[in-house]
Structure 1
Amino acid sequence: MMKKQLIMEKALELFAKQGFEATSVQQITEQCGISKGAFYLAFKSKDELILSLIDHFMMQFTSDLDCIVRDTEETNEVLYKFYYSNFSSFYKYSDFAKTFMKEQTHTFNEEFILKIHYYDSQLEKIILCMIERIYGKNLPVKLDIMYSIKGFTNIYSHLFLFSQVPFDLHQLAQSLVEKTELLAKHAKVPFLTEELYQNAKHPVTEEQQKEKILEIIDQKTDELKDDSIVQESFSLLKQQLHEPAFSPAIVKGLLENIRHHPNCQWITYLLQSYWKI
């Protein structure tokens, strides 16, 4: 197991038992069997570690939803699987979310806000892709439906944060599918236009997106040195980012080489989104 991953896993266990404030870097390093120097080579501080855990959760969450929208063969099952996966993931990490909200409000700094905006924009792309797949690209109220779906998931997620009562995720997903279907079929008056939506967004430039992707590719290339196919695919994909020369079919083939690797789902999603594949 890579040292950074080990630190994150052991820290998560301690945070769940003791909370963030009560857990020291010393305790984390003792749990990992490493020195403090090794910790600070991986993370500059405990706050950076916490932000990295949030990154890890959001990458997994977003890439899982993207796979559901892309890979579910039966269109009539996509919305249910989207909701069910969404709430299952939130339920799984609800203890971390509750502890974070209770203890870590001081980390709501600019970096944290930018991360939230970034992952929110990725989620919106996935939901819009799902809506277009289910209801067609010309649905007049698709942007309003997208915000309705976000609202459903946000509001109902509060049940896991503020209630100790167990919930039937299957019934919850079914209930929200029914509500979404009613809105999509009967809503006639759109509020959000494309122009209004674009003006309200927090844009990420194409160059910023490319820089982020190249940074992650370099990181994954270093982490996955033993997988020659992944290494070669990353090398060619990086080349394509700098100087596009390959056909879409070749790019799709290279993405297929990496998409099923458990450590490459997020970068696959980012590349697919960047090239609109």
Structure 2
Amino acid sequence: MKEKEIIIIEAGIKLFAKKGFSSTTIQEIAEECGISKGSFYLHFKSKEALLLSTFEYYLNFSMENLNKIRLKHDDPREAFIEQTAYQFKEIFDHRDFIVMMIREHTIPTRRSMSDFFQRATKFSNEFYLNALSDIYRSKIDVFKYDLNMIVQGMITSYKNLFLFSNITLDFTKLAEFILERMDDIVEGLTRSNKAPVLTEQAVFDGLFFPASSQDHILKEIKRLSSAENIIEDHLITLQVLEEEMKKDEPRKPVLQGMLANIQGDEEFDSLVQLIKDVYKLE
């Protein structure tokens, strides 16, 4: 990301936290950066585009820093404690902005934003699964997906505490406390004869790494297109639908027109209903 774009992002964060997203104008952001409004548009198409870039920037920033912390520690427990403390500090330092976003319900619903949250979810689950495996090794293989949910649940609860209250805690001591509680849980699980609640199949079914609605539709289109006995008209219809679904905002008239070509054919019922449900089509 270019230096000027980072400056604009940081100015946007400052103003959004202070005034709110909807009340902050592009002109105000430009003035905060010492640039013209026209210069703003050279970098971002809209305020919503700036918001998405802000999320992307801080996700990538956090991913890089968490990885740097991991690389500087030989002991995975020490790495986890510092990584967790770092995450708590990031939440605390940006809580005004985060709380503003939650209260204003300003998250855009475009596909690009949906894709971002899918990527963030995937990163979070991979991060904790890897961290737990590094700490506990094969001891937790059968329970690793349950433990992933448990540790994220604890950490998220403390993050919410920092967001919505004035309480202050020592982030490092809190991270140590959480890891010690995970030790207790791991010890209890390894002594038990209980089966895990979450299994490998849960991952494949999308519980941990959920696909977006568009991804589900594209997967279904691909499956139907590969049928050996598909007729040419249906194949062309699926190809048009596939191209439309790859856009940020698929056009409803195009979707309706293509669905009319395959509606009533039993083999396409699941695809037709899926698209209708997602895009609220009649």
TM-score scaled by structure 1? 0.68
Matched, 1:202 2:203: no
Deviation of the 1:56 alpha carbon? 1.2
- Equivalent residue for 1:47? 48
Q: Percent identity?
A: 28
Deviation of the 1:42 alpha carbon? 0.6
From 183, 191, 198, the equivalent of 1:192 is 198
Matches of 1:98 and 1:176, distance apart in 2: 24
- Equivalent residue for 2:157? 155
| 8 Å Cα contact 2:91/2:159 also seen in 1 | yes
- Equivalent residue for 2:104? 103
- Kindly report structure 1 stretches of 4+ aligned residues shifted beyond 4 Å: none
Change beyond 3 A, Cα 1:104–1:46: farther
- The AA in structure 1 aligned to 2:55 is I
Matches of 2:109 and 2:176, distance apart in 1: 34
- The AA in structure 1 aligned to 2:199 is T
Deviation of the 1:157 alpha carbon? 0.8
Q: Secondary structure at the match of 2:205?
A: helix
Deviation of the 1:138 alpha carbon? 5.1
Matched, 1:18 2:11: no
| 8 Å Cα contact 2:118/2:211 also seen in 1 | no
Deviation track 1:50-94 (CA, whole Å, cap 9, x = no partner) reads 111111111112222233334311233133223212211111211
Matched, 1:28 2:34: no
Structure 2 gap segments, 5+ residues each:
216-282
Deviation of the 1:106 alpha carbon? 5.1
* Structure number with bigger Rg: 2
| 8 Å Cα contact 1:83/1:176 also seen in 2 | no
| 8 Å Cα contact 2:76/2:131 also seen in 1 | no
Structure 1 gap segments, 5+ residues each:
206-277
Matches of 1:114 and 1:93, distance apart in 2: 23
Q: How many residues align?
A: 205
Q: Secondary structure at the match of 1:44?
A: coil
Q: Secondary structure at the match of 2:150?
A: helix
Q: Secondary structure at the match of 2:32?
A: helix
Change beyond 3 A, Cα 1:185–1:78: farther
| 8 Å Cα contact 2:66/2:83 also seen in 1 | yes
| 8 Å Cα contact 2:85/2:171 also seen in 1 | yes
